[in-house]
Amino acid sequence: MSWFDDTFLPSLFERFGRETHWLTRKQTAICTRYMERHTVMVDQFQGDRTRHHYYTREWRGRIVTLNYSKLNGCGTISFGSTEQERADLAKRREVERTERELRSLRRLREKHPDRFLKQLEDARNVVKYWKEEIEEDQADPEMQKCLPRDRELLAEALEKVKIMEAML
């Protein structure tokens, strides 16, 4: 381990968290010394191109990125998410999506019962479709690789029908 990983980066992360933040020239110089340099060509106005340097380093399961500015010698640093943080965010987004769908279905049932019944019928047809697809995939060895995704889609469709039927 190095001073950069054990002291410098933790101090920046404690101060800035996951927000992108400008560093001083000295902080930027330290980062450029310890991080891996990458160069990309960036299109400018009227067909001109310029080089842009950025630096990366993996630190405690995060990708740390420093975008360097040649104009002032400073850079912006950002700390990516860990695998656990990405998984937690995906779960949170899935819960929010489900809650949004439930609110939407409740409003539809209350304000437009005829459209709600039509959507229920459509959802039942989707279940029927995925059941037929799974039967066809099981019969064809080439299509058996599609079975896990088809079963997942069937489960989602069944869950929607179950929720909608419970609202009746």
The pairing of strands 21-23 and 36-43 is: unpaired
158 — alpha (psi -120 to 50), left (phi > 0) or beta?
Answer: alpha
Band (23; pLDDT cuts 50, 70, 90): very high
The CA distance from 36 to 48, in Å, is: 26
pLDDT in tens, 50-103: 888 899 999 999 999 999 988 899 999 999 999 999 999 999 999 999 899 999
In the chain, the N- to C-terminal Cα span, in Å, equals: 61
Question: The pTM is what?
Answer: 0.64
**Which of 97, 29, 101, 100 minimizes the C-alpha distance to 66?**
29
